[in-house]
Structure 1
Amino acid sequence: MSEPDTKPNRSDEEWREQLTEEEYEILRERGTEARFSGEHVNRDDDGVYRCKGCGEILFDSETKYDSGCGWPSFYAAENDAVETREDTRHGMTRTEVVCANCEGHLGHVFSDGPEPTGKRFCINSVALKFEDE
């Protein structure tokens, strides 16, 4: 994949044209894929994970680990690649993770991960594109 899309402010119609129905549901409507259904859950190849919406590098495979939660998990994101927001949907309070470049919903982050950060970025496979090193 080439450089990230530096003009990610698209209309709803443009996002629908670019993304599959499932990608649109997750990235633009804050959906969630079924546990253990994503293509990246068990991936252990060396490389980087990019945002499916804009191509921004979000996570490095060196920070990926098996948390057993059913979604790809990372203990750290690339510097300034993601932003967090409070999410009070579904009767609970969680911390949502979005792409800092296109604001696509990626998943959530929890404070029960391994050292050195103690974070568990629990991310939808559908929101990610893997690129081999």
Structure 2
Amino acid sequence: MSKDLAKNIGELNGSVKSYVQAKVDLAKLTLLEKVSRSISYLFNMIVVTLLFSLVIGFGAAAFAVWYGQTYHNYFEGVLIAGGFLIIVAVGFLLFRKKIVTNSVISNFSEILFEEDEQEKES
């Protein structure tokens, strides 16, 4: 009887080790997925922000050139475009918390707590 008990305890010990290793591997894979999704989100946000900035900059430059050709005063065109860019920058500074911070926090919380919500629904 004691040999069977020792054998069962040995098998149980092996099963527990396998289970713990599987849980550790699952945690590593979950962490890897969340980190990669977070980095991907940040990279996408940086690219979109840079492209948006380029569009605004080229739009301002195009306006300044158009204004200069139309009214024969490039200086005024540049001043108007610069004023528009300053207004956009001040607006962004005033509303950056609503625009950027809330968006980033909500997306990161969605990425990080997605699995927890799926477990609660089940």
Using CA pairs under 8 Å that are at least 6 residues apart, name the structure with larger relative contact order, 1 or 2: 1
Structure with higher Rg: it is 2
TM-score (norm 2): 0.20
TM-score (norm 1): 0.19
The structure in which a higher percent of residues are helix is 2
The structure in which a higher percent of residues are strand is 1
